Amino acid sequence: MNIKFNIIIVLVLQALFFACKTTDKVLEAEATIPNSFRGAETNPSDTSTLASVPWRTFFTDSKLIDLIDTAIANNYDLQIAIKNMETAQLLFKQAKAGYYPDLNLQIAANSSRPSDNSLNGISLNQFLGTTHIEDYTTALALSWEADVWGKIRNQKAIALASYLQSEEAKKAVQTQLVSSIAKGYYNLLMLREQLDVAKQNLALTDSTLHIIKEQYDVGEITLLGLEQAEAQRLAAASLVPEFEQRIATQENAIQLLTGKFPSEITPISSLNRVILPEKLTAGVPSALLSRRPDVKSAEIGVLASNAQTRLAQANMYPSLTITAQSGVNAFTASNWFNVPASLFGMVAGSITQPILQRRQLKTQHETAKIEQEKSVIKFKQSVLTAVGEVSDALIAIDKLEQRESIALNRTTRLQNAINHAGLLFETGMANYLEIITAQENVLQSELELAGIKKAQLDALVDLYRSLGGGWE
The pLDDT, as a whole number, for residue 308 is 92
The pLDDT, as a whole number, for residue 288 is 76
The pLDDT, as a whole number, for residue 113 is 78
The 10s digit of each residue's pLDDT in 60-88 is 999 999 999 999 999 999 999 999 999 99
The pLDDT, as a whole number, for residue 392 is 93
The pLDDT, as a whole number, for residue 367 is 92
Question: Can you identify the CATH homologous superfamily of domain 22-99+148-316+362-467?
Answer: Outer membrane efflux proteins (OEP) (1.20.1600.10)
Following DSSP, what letter does each residue of 10-61 receive, concatenated? HHHHHHHHHHT---PPPPP------SS-TTS---TT----GGGS-HHHH---
The pLDDT, as a whole number, for residue 8 is 44
The pLDDT, as a whole number, for residue 229 is 82
pTM metric for this prediction: 0.85
Domain boundaries, the chain: 22-99+148-316+362-467, 104-146+319-352
The pLDDT, as a whole number, for residue 269 is 85
Q: Whole-number mean pLDDT of the chain?
A: 86
Sites in the chain below the pLDDT cut of 70: 1-24, 40-47, 121, 124-125, 127-129, 131, 279, 358, 422, 424-430
Q: Cβ contacts of residue 403 below 8 Å, gap of 6+?
A: 452
Question: Helix, strand, or coil here: 329?
Answer: strand
The pLDDT, as a whole number, for residue 6 is 53
Burial 421-439 (b: 16+ CB within 10 A, else e): bbeebeeeebebeebbebb
Alpha-carbon dihedral of residues 381, 385, 386, 388, nearest 10 degrees? 140
The 10s digit of each residue's pLDDT in 200-238 is 989 988 888 887 888 788 887 888 878 888 888 898 899
Per the CB < 8 A criterion, the answer to whether 348 and 324 are in contact is yes
Q: How far apart are the first and last CA of the chain?
A: 70
The pLDDT, as a whole number, for residue 9 is 52
Residue 126 per-residue DSSP state: I
Q: Cβ contacts of residue 114 below 8 Å, gap of 6+?
A: 120, 121, 124, 132, 133
Between the CA of residue 380 and those of 172, 230, 385, 394, what are the distances in Å?
18, 60, 9, 21
Angle between helices 151-217 and 62-74 (to 10 degrees): 140
In the chain, pLDDT over 70 holds for what percent of residues? 88
CATH code, 104-146+319-352: 2.20.200.10
Nearest of 141, 187, 170, 193 to residue 344 by alpha carbon = 141
The verdict on whether omega for the bond into residue 101 sits within 30 degrees of 0, i.e. cis, is no
**β-strand pairing of 102-112 with 343-352:** unpaired
The pLDDT, as a whole number, for residue 257 is 96
